[in-house]
């Protein structure tokens, strides 16, 4: 895998030494399974710019194993074209017994939220608890047993690409997820005769066949195409220590590259316990829109940007250029002076599947009784905190002092910071010059600050010799 020539550094393959080959089985037959719950083709999915959120999915009242509990939330592309991905939820309360699954559609990332998964694979056994994750490569046979009696969690399925560690760039050679902390199973075999059911997923459809011996009959193996697990508590986060926000890419555990440089089919990002020491900074994730699409889940605790409503086992989805951010309660608490104290984020673990491909939501996800149709209300209580320079009279005027003329006093800063717009004085770093009219922006360090208030565009020469165009 793959069968065609690839650069050696990209090749993945394993040799398995079996008691009996898997080719010895009865013919496959379509499985009687509610196809509306499992989707691998999203051309007819639903796109909406609305912010979406789901409450935790309840456990079923009847016995349902891991495979039959899979519930597709959204995705992009199709398994048939080997393009895109799918996101599923699972809520199971029964072990798979003498059956197993081989997924021909893609690689699976399992993120348990409640209940441990005991996963038997052709390569050996992996025990995966909440705060751990597991990756099952395309085509590997596995079964899921539930030591705790039930389990709930999330699944990211890649129709294309494979998961790998992200490049660290200027971070260097340390931090984030370390290769040494990923664990693959030790060879384990089952030499047992008897009827075994082999489930095979192909283009989102399930097939089954009977086999007279255990598929887990591998006595030894070698290679690099293997299942593995990772303990998220081993992730070494980095963060800003002075002010402002780095992008969430600094929390990337695994990435699945796309053919477009800098764009991933999907990134797996976590928001782990850590310390926030920034000053003069709105510490929660800021209100934003961007070209990426974000599916979030919560494994435990309270997510730092949503104090209410976002529960462990729940999920949210925000598509490209849809504005989102902290709820009202989080915002109001974060602008108080007491929020400047050293902040220890403890007892929480949220994650995000981030992708440049637009996810299409399935009808069953939009029609689920777990969908939070009042999600948008969490922002409706946000209040204005802006104080106009010069008081109410200035607020009702026009031009440079009016509320609609924010561009009248733009300041472009040098090598230390960006530009700020609004009331107040201009702060410049050592050696810098400042210019303002009717108030100005606020800057950080660095020299070479210039501003124009005559309503024309000004070319600002920065301290590092690069010219910037500031609309003023």
- Return the C-alpha torsion angle 418, 422, 424, 427, nearest 10: 10
Query: Quick one: which of 306, 267, 311 has its CA closest to 287?
Result: 306
25 in active site: no
* Active-site entry in 122, 318, 354, 356: 318
Q: Is the CB of residue 107 less than 8 Å from the CB of residue 158?
A: yes
318 in active site: yes
Estimate to the nearest angstrom the gap between the alpha carbon of 461 and the chain centroid: 39
* Active-site entry in 107, 122, 294, 354: 294
222 in active site: no
141 in active site: no
Distance CA 10, CA 332 (A): 49
* Active-site entry in 122, 324, 354, 356: 324
For residue 388, report the phi and psi dihedrals to the nearest 5 degrees. Answer: -75, 135
* Active-site entry in 288, 332, 388, 445: 288
26 in active site: no
Residues serving a catalytic function are 245, 288, 294, 318, 324
């Amino acid at each position: 895998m793959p069968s065609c020539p690839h650069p050696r550094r990209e090749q993945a393959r394993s040799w398995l030494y079996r008691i009996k080959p898997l080719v010895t089985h009865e013919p496959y037959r379509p499985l009687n399974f509610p196809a509306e719950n499992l989707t691998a083709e999203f051309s007819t999915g639903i796109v909406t710019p609305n912010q979406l959120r789901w409450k935790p999915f309840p456990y079923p009242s009847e016995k349902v194993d891991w495979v039959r509990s899979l519930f597709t939330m959204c995705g992009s592309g199709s398994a048939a074209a080997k393009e895109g991905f799918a996101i599923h939820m699972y809520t199971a309360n029964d072990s798979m017994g003498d059956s197993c699954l081989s997924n021909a559609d893609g690689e699976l990332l399992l993120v348990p939220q409640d209940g441990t998964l005991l996963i038997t694979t052709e390569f050996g056994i992996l025990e995966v608890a909440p705060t751990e994750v597991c990756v099952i490569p395309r085509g590997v046979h596995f079964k899921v047993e539930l030591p705790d009696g039930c389990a709930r969690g999330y699944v990211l399925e890649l129709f294309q690409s494979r998961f790998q560690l992200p490049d660290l760039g200027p971070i260097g050679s340390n931090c984030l997820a370390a290769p040494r902390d990923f664990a693959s199973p030790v060879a384990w075999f089952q030499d047992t005769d008897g009827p075994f059911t082999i489930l095979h997923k192909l283009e989102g459809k399930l097939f089954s066949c009977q086999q007279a011996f255990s598929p887990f009959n591998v006595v030894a193996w070698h290679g690099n195409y293997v299942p593995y697990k990772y303990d998220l508590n081993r992730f070494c986060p980095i963060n800003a220590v002075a002010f402002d926000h780095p992008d969430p890419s600094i929390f990337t555990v695994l990435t699945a590259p796309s053919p477009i440089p800098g764009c991933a089919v999907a990134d797996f990002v976590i928001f782990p316990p850590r310390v926030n020491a920034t000053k003069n900074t709105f510490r929660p994730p800021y209100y934003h829109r961007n070209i990426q699409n974000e599916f979030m889940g919560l494994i435990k605790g309270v997510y730092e940007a949503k104090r209410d409503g976002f529960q462990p086992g729940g999920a949210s989805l925000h598509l490209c250029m849809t504005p989102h951010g902290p709820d009202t309660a989080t915002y109001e608490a974060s602008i108080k002076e007491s929020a400047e104290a050293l902040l220890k984020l403890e007892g929480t673990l949220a994650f995000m599947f981030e992708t440049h491909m637009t996810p299409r939501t399935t009808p069953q996800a939009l029609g689920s009784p777990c969908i939070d149709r009042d999600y948008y209300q969490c922002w409706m209580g946000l209040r204005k905190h802006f104080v106009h320079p010069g008081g109410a009279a200035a607020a009702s005027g026009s031009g440079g002092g009016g509320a609609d003329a924010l561009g009248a006093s733009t300041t472009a800063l040098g090598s230390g910071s960006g530009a700020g717009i609004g009331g107040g004085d201009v702060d410049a770093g050592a050696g810098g010059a400042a210019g303002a009219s009717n108030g100005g922006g606020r800057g950080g360090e660095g020299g070479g600050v210039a501003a124009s208030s005559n309503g024309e565009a000004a070319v600002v020469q920065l301290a590092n010799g690069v010219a910037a165009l500031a609309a003023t």
